[in-house]
Chains A and B, each alone.
Chain A
Amino acid sequence: MIMNKNRTKKIAKRTISYVLKLALGIIFIMPLIFAVCYSIKPESLITVTPPNFFTKTPTLEHFKWVLVNLPFLNYIKNSFIVCIISIVCQVVFASLAAYAFAFFDFKGKGFFFTFAITAMMIPADIVIIINYATIQKWGLVNTYLGLAFPTLISGTSVFMMRQYYLTIPKSIKDAAVIDGCSDMRFLFKIAIPLSVPTIASLSLYLFVIIYNLFLWPLLVTNTETRRTVQIGMSMLVTSERIEYGPLLAGAVCCILPVVLVFLFGQDYIVKGMVAGAVKG
């Protein structure tokens, strides 16, 4: 009887816990639900008060308008290309740099690492104009490389990878060296495979940042063929006439890839966050 009581208590606690978590989750996801529900409403019903999530006359006209009048899919494709270039380069460069900082002692190591960290503290907006002038001089305007250039490496990625590599016991490296493993072989065969969760977490973090960039792509592109999705979103907003239907439809199209990426990569985010938290 006591066991039954305890079991009931446990079930009740778990149920309450799930209900609370569900409620909290729905609150957090409410803006998304709002955007999706209102993006399929006719324009005349969008600003009706009191607000009503559901409509008896759902329509896809806003999505049609966005996809027909703007090359939105092209924008999303460009955003993805830029993200892939930047993420691959950042992971490669950051892994190499972090490996050096974590496993080797050399002159100026502290200085260079501090230099890399200091780069994290410089707001992007301060250097954006000088970077734009550089890109113009190099003839990289309207190119994917020009779009990705400022994000090919960052202090944040070096820092994250270094923190993870510091958690790899030195004894593993020593054992590998004893067995005849070279430094680069250790990096590619042992360190990088071990750091996959951190790399995945870093990739997701970079994806969100680079996908959401607006000012830099606006500066370095002048043609529709190279524009990114955030510029497409801004085209749906004008100073004197905001049509909320197309705006919300555009927002849903824009956010969908990010949501999918997060859904598939959420485990890695958590693993990456705690990697390096526990030593030994």
Chain B
Amino acid sequence: MKKFVVLLMVLVMGFSVFANGKTETAPAAATAAPAEKVQVNWWTHWSGSMADPLKEFIAEFNAMQDKYQVNYVYQGTSLDVIGKLQSTQKNELPAMFTGATECVGYFADADFVIPIQEFIDKDPDTNLDPDKLFSISRTGYCDRTGKMIGYPACNSFPGIYVNLDMFEAAGIDPYTSLDTIEDIYDVCKKMVDGGYAKTGIGFHSDAYWIAMVLSTQGVPAFDGNDGWTSEVTKCVYNEEPTKSALESLLGTLQKLYKEGYGIPYGTDINVELIPRFAAGEFPILQCTTGFYNKIMLAGAKFKIDLLPLFGCNDDRVHEGVPAGGCGSFIVDNGNPEAQQGAYEFIKYMAQPENNARFAMATGYLPQTQAAVDTPKYQDYLNNTFPAARNALKTQAEGDGSIRNPLAPIANEHKEANAILITTITNDPNYNVDKAIDEATVRLTEAVELFNLSK
């Protein structure tokens, strides 16, 4: 028995040393048999009911042609998707993935992404015309040379939902009174002190909107003009003009929370903010177009509109906001056929009718005027989501100079902004300049770490 066990252990140890599996080979060509379709794996973070429209598109695309088979593969959150892409061997990579707009700065630099511009340039009959996209969407997916890295699937317009009935009762015109954070404070104060609302405003705790407010203001978060003229090397939160803008934003927010006009920052938007907003407890809710359905499902019975995000102060340069949402990116997995299949599928999704369908199913905004003008989307605007008209108008009028930072640390940026805003709103006595300096250090370290790792 003893000898048997010893022999077994030696065999197991020997197996573990030599069981290296197959060496890295070129990816198995998806042309093993002529009748087999080329597998186009699509890694995405969309899941649950958000994935239903995607699966419909996939089924349609797969049925209408016999060359490519697109496969939906859920891979966790958008962070998980990026992490897995970074760690996976080339031959195991998918053909395409879904990535957030604010991460385009990272994708432009990533060795696993093939800019979609390369496919567009080789396809004279393509329907993927970047010039037909809304300017902010085009800019949102470009690198600093103007080359399209990915293609937008949707725009998640960040703005502020307003309860028009409450504004009317208080005698305030929301369309002219919510331009800056100071205006927001004044309106909240008037509404609450006048007895028109229990509290003033609720913010989506996901801090993406802070970077967008800075973009709207026209001030950079990083050097190199936010990465658009040269590579990012540091955060410039504590340098003018960004510092003054942040002081205005954070100082006013701190005052607003100190005086009790805001729902505590960090409150869950699904569990508390939306039900309370729908119940008419407060007049302003900061979030995105994707939440409109939820607000309606929560029983909102008042007239509602979606306005663009506010600026930091009167020095605000832009009226609109940069692009949000997600896009499709093609992966360098060593399989040109699968990559082409990914490109063909992106083309299919980008057709105006399909872009409109996706927008209607998810609450995001379409990417082209042609999609907005489709009869079905017009009907949707008239009967289901009239509040989107303002957002669409802002989106259409926004020029390409309103853009997200082209920085490779989008997630760290969001995290640092979340810490910044939570610190300021939770502690009414926290020094704003100190908080800005801390955020600057945090972000500069993140940039330096990223640049070191390249």
Chain A interfacial positions (CB closer than 8 Å to B): 43-44, 47-49, 69, 96, 129, 132-133, 136-141, 182-185, 188, 215, 218-219, 222-223, 231, 234-244, 246
Contacts and interface: CB of A to CB of B under 8 A. Distances in A.
A223 B72 CA distance: 9
A185 B77 contact: no
A219 to B, nearest CB: 6
A241 B290 contact: yes
Given A48-B275, A137-B24, A182 B294 contact: no
A239 B78 contact: yes
Contacts of B371: none
A164 B274 CA distance: 54
Contacts of B74: 231, 234-235
B41 interface: yes
Given A47-B271, A241-B294, A183 B2 contact: yes
Contact of B84 (A140, A218, A239): A218
B386 interface: no
Interface string B267-293: 000110011100000000000101101
Nearest to A140: B21
Contact of A238 (B9, B48, B89, B288): B48
A132 B86 CA distance: 11
A182 B206 CA distance: 64
A52 to B, nearest CB: 14
B50 interface: yes
Query: Which of A129, A188, A234: most chain B Cβ within 10 A?
Result: A234
B35 interface: no
Contacts of B448: none
Contact of A47 (B51, B275, B293): B275
Nearest to A65: B49
Contacts of A129: 87
Nearest to A246: B48
Given A184-B2, A235-B51, 7 more contacts: A96-B9, A136-B88, A182-B1, A234-B47, A235-B47, A241-B48, A243-B49
A39 B287 CA distance: 27
A239 B77 contact: yes
Contacts of B84: 218-219
Contacts of A139: 21-22
B299 interface: yes
A47 B45 contact: no
A133 B90 CA distance: 11
A183 B4 CA distance: 13
Nearest to B276: A49
Given A48-B275, A219-B84, A239-B77, A136 B47 contact: no
B22 A47 contact: no
A266 to B, nearest CB: 33
A241 B50 contact: yes
28 contacts: A44-B299, A47-B271, A48-B275, A69-B52, A96-B5, A96-B9, A132-B88, A133-B87, A133-B89, A139-B21, A184-B1, A184-B2, A188-B1, A222-B41, A222-B73, A222-B75, A223-B73, A231-B74, A234-B77, A235-B51, A239-B77, A240-B363, A241-B48, A241-B50, A241-B294, A243-B48, A244-B270, A246-B48
A183 B88 CA distance: 46
A236 B45 CA distance: 11
A240 B47 contact: no
A11 B44 CA distance: 62
A240 B291 contact: yes
Interface of B: 1-2, 5, 9, 19-24, 41, 45-52, 73-78, 80, 84, 87-89, 92, 94, 156, 206, 270-271, 274-276, 288, 290-291, 293-294, 297-299, 363
Contacts of A138: 19-21
B275 A137 contact: no
Nearest to A142: B92
Contacts of B290: 240-241
Given A129-B87, A136-B92, A185-B1, A238 B46 contact: yes
Contacts of B52: 69
A148 to B, nearest CB: 14
B87 A238 contact: no
B297 A238 contact: no
A68 B89 CA distance: 33
A136 B21 CA distance: 9
A219 B87 contact: yes
A97 to B, nearest CB: 10
Contact of B47 (A49, A132, A236): A236
A237 B275 contact: no
B21 A242 contact: no
B270 A182 contact: no
Contacts of A246: 48-49
B21 A235 contact: no
Given A48-B275, A136-B88, A184-B1, A239 B45 contact: yes
A218 B22 contact: no
A218 B47 contact: no
A222 B22 CA distance: 19
Given A235-B74, A240-B156, A243-B48, A137 B21 contact: yes
Contacts of A44: 297, 299
A190 B48 CA distance: 52
A101 to B, nearest CB: 15
Top 10 nearest A-B pairs (CB, nearest first) are A138-B21, A139-B21, A240-B290, A235-B47, A184-B1, A238-B50, A47-B275, A136-B89, A242-B270, A139-B22
A237 B74 CA distance: 12
Given A141-B92, A185-B1, A235-B74, A241 B49 contact: yes
Contacts of A184: 1-2, 5
Contacts of B24: 137
A129 B80 CA distance: 12
Contacts of A244: 270-271
Nearest to A227: B74
B305 to A, nearest CB: 19
Contacts of A48: 275
B202 to A, nearest CB: 14
Given A137-B21, A139-B22, A237 B87 contact: no
